[in-house]
Amino acid sequence: MKKFLVLLLIFTAVQMGAQNETHYTKIIKELSSAKYQGRGYAKGGANKAGKYLKKEYKEAGVDEVILQPFTIDINTFPGKMEMVADGKKLRAGVDFSMREYSPGVHGEFPVYFVDTLNFDANKMFADLAKPENANCMVVCEFWFTYKHGKDFSRLTKAGECTNAGVIYTWTSPIKFYKAYGHRVADKPIVWVTPEAIQGVKKVKLDVDNKFFKDYELFNVIAKVEGARHDSCYVFTAHYDHLGNLGKDIYYAGANDNASGTAAIVTLAEYYAKNRPQYDMYFLSFSGEDANLRGSEFFAQHPIVPLEQIKYLFNIDMIGDNNPVQYCEVSDSGMRGYSLFEQINADKQYFQGLNRGDLAANSDHYPFAKRGVPCIFLENQEGDAFKDYHTIYDTFETAVFTSYAPVFKLVTDFIAQYK
């Protein structure tokens, strides 16, 4: 019995020193709650979340927490958000949403459908010049407009055409973005599901936007001191999300990216209890959904020289269950990638690692382009991934399967990396 109790105590101590799933899920639930209104900008949710994280880091036992302020210009939609198609009221966030750089729009408009099967740009513009199509909303499938971007960009500019605006069709679930919200276009642009707009003759829109100039945000930076200070490891995750779509709709962002945010807080907790060889920095970034603004600001104004970073881990959207882990690796990080593969092959944390091309899609990129060794970890194509950038990315739809293997893969890497 005594031997059993000793083993039990050892096991408990090891578990306490490892990942903390209870704390992890608690943080996700908190950050995705209505209190933070999608961690956006119009209602101050992002900054409320940042203050919460400052408290969480301190309670985790880190040595220092600082706030790094920066500003952005950002377009938001905190007011009226209504759309009616031939008398049928559409649901914000379900049937329609707004392009992030759209202005507000108020009025009733005829609808013009682009003939994509027999597309002729000259004919389209000739049709739009006819009196019956004056002040219309032009409807077209989004990827078709992307392919013919030069022609369709004219439809969003004042003085180029008499149309009132553009409606992009996008398959359900309808998505919302913030990346290019630093400006406001001349004409409204609306995302709508094909089913909601099919055969419609007229639409009525009552949408408010609010543009913020020099909106104040901040990165939350925590530090755990190691035995050596000449080099460091860095963990990053963005805590902001999409905020509001009108008065009543907010994007909870449990997977994107409360999941990654919670992970690096628990990593800070782990290293505060298990003092590392090197200093550890935990960078909770704001402004990621506004085109990586927080991480880019830090990379331009680092509190530790970038050349001292041994390896950087960017954890984004791991609230999922794909048994194959997606990753991206910087050129200078490729030497370490073979170790990730070796650890995973030995421990079988995931069935495999799927390395994609390096892209400007998350907070690792400002560091990768400056030569920092780094890896981006994101669990794609699991059950929760379909809810990406939709109102369905909630605590109830998030999955926690990937947390423990990501935690172990990263901590094993640090223990072995030379």
What's the pLDDT tens digit per position in 359-404?
Answer: 999 999 999 999 999 999 999 989 999 999 999 999 999 999 999 9
Rounded-to-integer distance, Cα 30 and Cα 33, Å = 5
Note the CATH number of domain 19-72+213-416. Answer: 3.40.630.10
H/E element, 5: helix 2-17
What are the tokens at 216? 């104040």
Compute the mean pLDDT over every residue in the chain, rounded to the nearest whole number.
94
What would the pLDDT profile of 215-258 be if each residue is shown by its tens digit?
A: 999 999 999 999 999 999 999 999 999 999 999 999 999 999 99
What are the sequence ranges of the domains in the chain? 19-72+213-416, 81-207
Closest CA to 103 of 218, 190, 194, 204: 190
Quote the pLDDT of residue 10.
34
Q: How confident is the model at residue 67 (pLDDT cuts 50, 70, 90)?
A: very high
The contacts of residue 14 (CB under 8 Å, 6+ apart) are: none
The mean pLDDT value for 88-93 works out to 98
SS (HEC) of 288-303? CCCCCHHHHHHHHCCC
The mean pLDDT value for 167-189 works out to 96
Q: Residues 295, 297, 303, 308: is their CA dihedral positive or negative?
A: positive
Higher pLDDT, 10 or 304: 304
Cα–Cα distance list, 98 to 105, 144, 170, 188 (Å): 10, 18, 12, 8
Q: How confident is the model at residue 18 (pLDDT cuts 50, 70, 90)?
A: confident
pLDDT exceeds cutoff 70 at 13: no
Q: Residues 395, 252, 397, 322: is their CA dihedral positive or negative?
A: negative
Higher pLDDT, 11 or 330: 330
Quote the pLDDT of residue 77.
98
The mean pLDDT value for 347-356 works out to 97
Q: How confident is the model at residue 160 (pLDDT cuts 50, 70, 90)?
A: confident
Q: How confident is the model at residue 298 (pLDDT cuts 50, 70, 90)?
A: very high
CATH class of this structure's domain 81-207: alpha beta
Stated pTM of the model: 0.93
Quote the pLDDT of residue 102.
98
- Whose tokens are 């794609």? That residue is 380
Query: Among residues of the chain, what percentage have pLDDT more than 70?
Result: 96
Higher pLDDT, 18 or 203: 203
Quote the pLDDT of residue 11.
38
What are the tokens at 142? 């989004």
Quote the pLDDT of residue 371.
98
Higher pLDDT, 223 or 19: 223
